Amino acid sequence: MNFKLLSLLVMLIFMSCSKKENDIVNTDNISVSTVVERFDQKFYTTPPDKIKELKVSFPYLFPEPNPDSVWVNKMQNKDEQELFAESQKLYADFLVEKEQLNLLFKHIKYYYPKFSEPKVITILTNVDYNNKVVLADSLLFISLDIFLGKDHEVYNDFPNYIKQNYTKEHMIVSVAEPFADQYLPSSSSKTFIARMIQEGKKLALVQAYLPNVSLNEIIGYSQEQLAWAKKSEEDIWKYFVENLMFYSTDTQLTNRFIEDAPFSKFYLEYDKNSPGKIGSWFGWQIVQSFMKNNDITLQNMILTDNEEIFSKSKYKPKKKQ
C-alpha cells in the first residue's frame, strides 16, 4: 500500500510539473527583427543646416506646411533640450528596452504567427500623456518623456494615480496595450459584467505577451494596491451582488469601477484605500478562472462572448484568510 501511495504521489507531482512546463511559452525559435530608430536623439542633436536630411528620413514627423524655422526653433528650445537631457539619463542606449521589445514581439508572434513587428521610433512629446505610445500601421512611437519615473519633477503637477506608471518598468506594459487592443474584438453587450470582462480580456492578452512582468505592473497597481484588491476580493464581490450590478447597463459604473481613477467609487468609508479600475481587476480574475476551467486557447477566449465567459468561468472570490 505504501509503495502504491508513493507511486501515486510521484505521478501527481510529475503531472503537476508537466502542466507547469506546458504553460511556459517557448519563443526561442520565433524570429523577429526589432528595429529602433532614435528620432529623439537625432532631432535634438542635428545641426540646423541638416534639418532637410532629417525630414527626408522621417517625413511623417514633419507635417506640412510648417517651415523649417519651426523645427529649428523647437530643436533649440531650452525647455525641450532640458527634457531631452533628462530622458538621456535613462535611455541613452535603449539596449534593455530593445530586448524587452524583442521578447514582446516574439510572444505576440507566437499567438498570432502573421504578426509583423513594427519599426520602433523613440520621440519626445512634451509630456503628452494621451500619446505616450502610438501604434500606426507599421510604426510604433514611444514617447520617452512619459517614462522618466513617477517622482520626476516634470510630473509635479500630475495626480499620483496618473504618474505612478510613468516609469521605466511600466514602459513595456504601455507598449503592449495597443497590440492587445489590435486583436481584441469589441463587445456589443453593455452590461457591467461584460464591460469588466472586456477589460479582463485585454489584461490577459498583455499578461500573455509579457509573461515575465509582475501582475501589479500589468494592471498598473502598486504592490500595496494589488494586496488590497486581493484582501478585499470577497467583500467587493458581495457589494456587486447585493447591489445587482452585474447585468446593469448604467454607464456610471464604468466611471466608478473600470476607468483609471485615484480610487474606486463604492461610496463607502474605505473608498480612499481602494485602487481605481477595480472592476477591470475582477474581469481579469474571471477570465483567468475561465481559462483554468475550460479547455480553450487564448485566441479563442477573446472571441468568446463576455457573458458566456462569466457563466462558464466558475469564478468564486477568495475568502478572507
Q: Between the CA of residue 29 and those of 3, 25, 65, 128, 294, what are the distances in Å?
A: 42, 11, 46, 38, 28
What percentage of the chain exceeds 90 in pLDDT? 88
CA-based angle 12:18:24, to the nearest 5?
Answer: 145
Tell which wins on pLDDT, 19 or 187.
187
d(CA 198, CA 297): 16
24 has pLDDT over 80:
no
Which three cell numbers mark 214?
A: 509582475
Average pLDDT, the chain: 92
CA of residue 295 relative to chain centroid, distance: 25
Task: For cell 496618473, name the residue.
Answer: 162
Q: How much is the average pLDDT of 80-87?
A: 97
Which three-class secondary structure state does DSSP give residue 12?
Answer: helix
pLDDT digits (tens, 9 = 90+) for 115-143: 999 999 999 999 998 999 999 989 999 99
H/E run at residue 136: strand 133-136
16 has pLDDT over 90:
no
Q: How much is the average pLDDT of 172-182?
A: 97
Task: For cell 518623456, name the residue.
Answer: 145
C-alpha closest to that of 144 among 163, 129, 161: 129
7 has pLDDT over 70:
no
Work out the pLDDT band at 94, boundaries 50, 70, 90: very high
206 has pLDDT over 70:
yes
Q: How does 85-101 read in b/e, with b if 16+ C-beta sit within 10 Å? A: ebbeebbeebeebeebb
Tell which wins on pLDDT, 4 or 160.
160
d(CA 230, CA 209): 23
19 has pLDDT over 60:
no
**DSSP states of 163-221:** HTT-STTTHHHHHHHHHHHHH-------SHHHHHHHHHHHHHHHHHH-TTS-HHHHHT-
C-alpha closest to that of 162 among 95, 260, 62: 260
Tell which wins on pLDDT, 23 or 50.
50
Work out the pLDDT band at 321, boundaries 50, 70, 90: low
Q: How much is the average pLDDT of 210-219?
A: 96
d(CA 101, CA 178): 13
* The pTM of the whole model exceeds 0.85: yes
Phi then psi for residue 243, to 5 deg, are: -95, 15
**pLDDT value of position 23:** 56
Which three cell numbers mark 82?
A: 532640458
Lowest mean pLDDT among 3-7, 11-15, 156-160: 11-15
22 has pLDDT over 80:
no
216 has pLDDT over 50:
yes
**pLDDT value of position 65:** 86
pLDDT digits (tens, 9 = 90+) for 232-260: 999 999 999 999 999 999 999 999 999 99
